[in-house]
Structure 1
Amino acid sequence: MQSQQNDKQFVKYVIPAVIGMVVQALYVILDGIIVGQGIGEIGLASVNIAFPCSMVVIALAMLIASGGANVYSFYKGQGEAGKANNIFNQCLTLAVSIGAVIALLGFFFRQPLAVFFGADEMLLPSTVAYLKWIAPFSLLQMLVCLLAVFVRNDDAPRLAMFASVTGAVINAILDVIFILILDFGIEAAAITNGIGMLIELTFYTAHFARKRGVLRIRAPHFDITDVKRVLGNGFATFLMEFSLPAVTFSFNLAIMRTQGTLGVTAYSIVGYVCSIINMTLIGVTQGAQPLMSFYHGSGDTMAFDRVYRLGVRTNLIVPAVLVSLCIAFSGGIVTLFRGGNPELTALTTRMLRLYPIAHIAIGPTLMNILYFQTTERNAFSTLISFLRCIGFVQIFLLLSLFVFGGKGLYLTFLAGEACHMFISLILVRRVKRTEKKGLDEDTERRITVHT
Structure 2
Amino acid sequence: MDSKVDLLKDDVRKIFIRYLIPSVGGMLGTSLYVLGDTMLVGRALGSQGLAALNISIPMINVFNGLGLLFGIGGATVLSINRGKNEHDKIDHIFTKSIFMSIIVGIILTLVRMFFLDEICYFLGASDATFQMSKDYLGILMFFSIAFLLNTTLTVFVRNDGAPRLAMLGMLVGSIINVILDYVFIFIFRWGMWGGALATGLSPIIGLIILSTHFIRKNNKMKFIKPKIDLNIIKRIISNGGSSFIIEISAGIVIFTFNKSILDIVGDIGVSAYSIIANLSLICTAIFIGVGQAIQPIISFNYGAEKMDRVYESVKLGIYFALGLGILFYLVGVLFPKQLVSIFIKDNIELMNITINGIKLYFIGFLFMGLNVVITSYMQSKEETRSSMIISLCRGFVFIIISLQILPKLIGIEGIWLTLPIVELITVFLSILYFEKYKTAVIYSIKTISS
Q: Which amino acid aligns with 2:314?
A: Y
CA distance in 2, matches of 1:429, 1:314: 22
Measured after TM superposition, the shift of residue 193 of structure 1 is 0.9
Match of 2:155 among 135, 149, 156: 149
Aligned to 1:111: 117
Cα deviation, 1:2-42, whole Å, max 9, x if unaligned, reads 99801000011111111232344345333211111112221
Helix, strand or coil for the counterpart of 1:213? coil
CA distance in 2, matches of 1:405, 1:283: 34
- Check 1:407–1:190 CA distance in 2 against 1; reply closer, same or farther (3 A cut): closer
Measured after TM superposition, the shift of residue 173 of structure 1 is 0.7
Query: Do residues 418 (structure 1) and 424 (structure 2) align?
Result: yes
Cα deviation, 1:79-102, whole Å, max 9, x if unaligned, reads 222212210111111111111111
Matches within 5 A, 1:33-432: 33-430=39-436
Measured after TM superposition, the shift of residue 163 of structure 1 is 0.6
- Check 1:433–1:58 CA distance in 2 against 1; reply closer, same or farther (3 A cut): closer
Q: Which amino acid aligns with 1:8?
A: K
Measured after TM superposition, the shift of residue 405 of structure 1 is 4.6
Q: Which amino acid aligns with 1:161?
A: M
CA distance in 2, matches of 1:25, 1:217: 28
Q: Which amino acid aligns with 1:176?
A: Y
Measured after TM superposition, the shift of residue 335 of structure 1 is 1.9
Measured after TM superposition, the shift of residue 70 of structure 1 is 0.6
Helix, strand or coil for the counterpart of 2:228? coil
CA distance in 2, matches of 1:141, 1:249: 20
CA distance in 2, matches of 1:188, 1:82: 46
CA distance in 2, matches of 1:61, 1:99: 9
Aligned to 1:442: none
CA distance in 1, matches of 2:96, 2:26: 26
Matches within 5 A, 1:12-31: 12-31=18-37
Aligned to 1:440: none
CA contact (8 A) 1:37 1:338 kept: yes
Cα deviation, 1:340-387, whole Å, max 9, x if unaligned, reads 111111001111111122122111111111122122121111101111
Unaligned stretches of 5+ residues in structure 2: 1-7, 443-450
CA contact (8 A) 1:368 1:425 kept: no
CA contact (8 A) 2:375 2:391 kept: yes
Q: Which amino acid aligns with 1:87?
A: I
CA distance in 2, matches of 1:15, 1:122: 42
CA contact (8 A) 1:38 1:183 kept: no
Q: Which amino acid aligns with 1:157?
A: P
CA contact (8 A) 1:7 1:307 kept: yes
CA contact (8 A) 2:294 2:313 kept: yes
Helix, strand or coil for the counterpart of 2:11? helix
Measured after TM superposition, the shift of residue 235 of structure 1 is 1.4
* Bigger Cα Rg: 1
CA contact (8 A) 1:256 1:263 kept: yes
Q: Which amino acid aligns with 1:257?
A: D
Measured after TM superposition, the shift of residue 225 of structure 1 is 0.8
Aligned residues: 434
Cα deviation, 1:148-183, whole Å, max 9, x if unaligned, reads 010011011000011111111111111111112221
Q: Which amino acid aligns with 2:17?
A: V
Measured after TM superposition, the shift of residue 426 of structure 1 is 3.0
Helix, strand or coil for the counterpart of 2:265? helix
CA distance in 2, matches of 1:27, 1:371: 27
Q: Which amino acid aligns with 1:332?
A: Q
TM-score, structure 1 length as denominator?
Answer: 0.92
Aligned to 1:446: none
CA contact (8 A) 2:261 2:412 kept: no
CA distance in 2, matches of 1:23, 1:51: 15
Cα deviation, 1:223-266, whole Å, max 9, x if unaligned, reads 11111111111112211111101111111111111110000000
CA distance in 2, matches of 1:419, 1:245: 20
Q: Percent identity at matched positions?
A: 32
CA contact (8 A) 1:362 1:417 kept: yes
- Check 1:352–1:405 CA distance in 2 against 1; reply closer, same or farther (3 A cut): closer
CA distance in 2, matches of 1:23, 1:250: 25
Measured after TM superposition, the shift of residue 430 of structure 1 is 4.8
Measured after TM superposition, the shift of residue 427 of structure 1 is 4.1
Q: Which amino acid aligns with 1:296?
A: Y
Q: Which amino acid aligns with 1:281?
A: F
- Check 1:26–1:229 CA distance in 2 against 1; reply closer, same or farther (3 A cut): closer
Helix, strand or coil for the counterpart of 1:79? coil
Q: Which amino acid aligns with 2:156?
A: F
Aligned to 2:38: 32
CA contact (8 A) 2:374 2:437 kept: no
TM-score, structure 2 length as denominator?
Answer: 0.93
Deviates more, 1:289-298 or 1:389-398: 389-398
CA distance in 1, matches of 2:66, 2:439: 33
CA contact (8 A) 1:208 1:217 kept: no
- Check 1:56–1:348 CA distance in 2 against 1; reply closer, same or farther (3 A cut): same
Deviates more, 1:68-77 or 1:104-113: 104-113
Q: Which amino acid aligns with 1:100?
A: I
